Amino acid sequence: MVDEFHHRAWGQQATAFRTAAVQAGPEAAVPSCPGWDVRKLVRHVGRVYAMVLLALELEPGGQRPRPSAPPEGFDEALSWFDDRLAELGTALSAADSARPVWGFFPGATAGSWTRRMAHETAVHRLDAALASGSGHELIFDPELAADGVDEMLRVMAPLGDWSERSAQGRVLYHAADAGRAWLVRFEPGEAPEVGEPVGPALDSEVDTTVTGTADTLYRQVWGRSSTAVVTGDAALADVVAGR
């Protein structure tokens, strides 16, 4: 069964990403991705789509798929992006959303890849909008943004080697407009643990609070400029974004 919410969101974000990229132009710098221009951004997203197409055909635990490189020219890269978007859309629509497939995150399925593509594309849509100068006009839908915060905190942030990390403390993320909250616990040398706060979250129970709309928290956890309000240990609020 197709993951309708994420599939629809992905399509909307992909269309908006392409529009923003064309508006910005290939040589526009992407301020949220230092050293990147829009041409590189388009090539990157298209190649991610190509990688996921291969991942859907692989069993879990196999070698990471290596898609071919996208074209160098901007117009050609846009056409290549369009083709990969269409192919991946068809593949994900036809796939059993619960079927295990290859992934760089635990428990990857066609459904979780659809979710991953929705947020991969949304965040890079923001990057393209920032490159075009329209980033301040973009406000993500609260449901999508809150889901993106959840994916980052529960799926993406714990990845990698945490054995040398020294972060310690508890961070409360609260997106009031989406009615969502997450309590993240950091211990030295361990991947973060994420749960939902039970009862009122008192200042004495956490070291840091990050509050705002789901849109501002989405930007915060993905390391983009944000107006979320951070109180307490600000460094802890930046850990999940790799800052």
Q: Tell me how many domains the chain contains.
A: 2
Structural domain of 152: 144-237
Q: Identify whether residues 23 and 109 lie together within a single domain.
A: yes
Q: Identify whether residues 57 and 171 lie together within a single domain.
A: no
Does 24 reside within a domain?
yes
Please tell me the predicted confidence (pLDDT) of residue 243.
64
Dihedral sign, Cα of residue 71, residue 72, residue 76, residue 79: positive
Q: Identify whether residues 127 and 204 lie together within a single domain.
A: no
Q: How confident is the model at residue 136 (pLDDT cuts 50, 70, 90)?
A: confident
156 Cα distance to chain centroid: 8
Q: Identify whether residues 122 and 192 lie together within a single domain.
A: no
Strand-pairing partners, residue 230, are 210
DSSP string, 10-46: HHHHHHHHHHHHHHH-TT-B-TTSTT-BHHHHHHHHH
- Among 138, 168, 198, the domain-final residue is 138
- Among 98, 122, 138, the domain-final residue is 138
Mean pLDDT, to the nearest integer, of 160-167? Answer: 94
Q: Identify whether residues 17 and 99 lie together within a single domain.
A: yes
Does 41 reside within a domain?
yes
Instruction: Supply the mean pLDDT for the chain.
Output: 94
Does 94 reside within a domain?
yes
79 Cα distance to chain centroid: 23
Dihedral sign, Cα of residue 175, residue 176, residue 182, residue 183: positive
Q: Identify whether residues 84 and 171 lie together within a single domain.
A: no
Q: Identify whether residues 80 and 199 lie together within a single domain.
A: no
| Cα–Cα distance measured from residue 86 to residue 11, given in angstroms and rounded to the nearest whole number | 10
Does 202 reside within a domain?
yes
pLDDT in tens, 33-72: 999 999 999 999 999 999 999 999 999 988 999 999 999 9
Q: How confident is the model at residue 184 (pLDDT cuts 50, 70, 90)?
A: very high
Q: Please check the confidence at residue 202 and state whether its pLDDT lies above 60.
A: no
CATH number of the domain encompassing residue 190? 3.30.1050.10
Q: Please check the confidence at residue 195 and state whether its pLDDT lies above 70.
A: yes
- Among 108, 138, 168, the domain-final residue is 138
State the burial class of residue 58 (Cβ atoms within 10 Å of its Cβ: 0-12, 13-18, 19+): middle
Q: Identify whether residues 31 and 90 lie together within a single domain.
A: yes
Does 243 reside within a domain?
no
Residue type, 170: R
Please tell me the predicted confidence (pLDDT) of residue 205.
81
Q: Identify whether residues 8 and 92 lie together within a single domain.
A: yes
Q: Please check the confidence at residue 232 and state whether its pLDDT lies above 60.
A: yes
Please tell me the predicted confidence (pLDDT) of residue 196.
83
Which one is predicted more confidently, 61 or 203?
Answer: 61
Does 242 reside within a domain?
no
Please tell me the predicted confidence (pLDDT) of residue 3.
79
Q: How confident is the model at residue 234 (pLDDT cuts 50, 70, 90)?
A: very high
Percent of the chain with pLDDT over 90: 90
Please tell me the predicted confidence (pLDDT) of residue 159.
95
